[in-house]
Amino acid sequence: ALIITDDCINCDVCEPECPNGAISQGEEIYVIDPNLCTECVGHFDEPQCQQVCPVDCIPLDPDRVESREQLMEKYKLLTEAS
Ligand code: SF4
Ligand code: SF4
């Protein structure tokens, strides 16, 4: 999963771009629900939020490193559930 750092300027550009609805406005900055973030695997070649963020504040979360297979598995579970 990706994570939003405190460089976030609350511009709201990323939220509508997320195909999994993983991004929301948190108490101080925008936040990503790691259980919903597939790093865009299953939807797009590149993480869409990273593409649009004007301040580049959405790196990989070092505490939530996942393989492509794990991300694809998460994508399948999420799409089956919806
Ligand atoms: Fe959403 Fe993709 Fe960004 Fe994850 S990488 S938060 S799935 S837009
Ligand atoms: Fe924050 Fe970047 Fe999302 Fe804007 S696009 S709300 S700066 S994470």
Which class is 15-81 in CATH?
alpha beta
Tell me: pLDDT of 17 over 90: yes
pLDDT by residue (tens digit) across 19-78?
999 999 999 999 999 999 999 999 999 999 999 999 999 999 999 999 999 999 999 999
From the CA of 60, which ligand is nearest? 1
| Cα 68 to ligand 2 centroid, rounded to whole Å | 24
Say yes or no: ipTM exceeds 0.85. Answer: yes
Is the CB of 5 inside a 6 Å radius of any atom of ligand 2?
A: no
All structural domains of the chain with their residue ranges: 15-81
CA distance 40 to 1: 9
What are the backbone angles phi and psi of residue 8, rounded to the nearest 5°?
A: -55, 135
What's the confidence (pLDDT) of residue 46?
97
CA distance 34 to 60: 11
Is the CB of 13 inside a 6 Å radius of any atom of ligand 2?
A: yes
The residues that bridge with 39 in the sheet, in sequence order, are: none
CA distance 66 to 29: 24
What are the backbone angles phi and psi of residue 20, rounded to the nearest 5°?
A: -105, 5
| Cα 51 to ligand 1 centroid, rounded to whole Å | 10
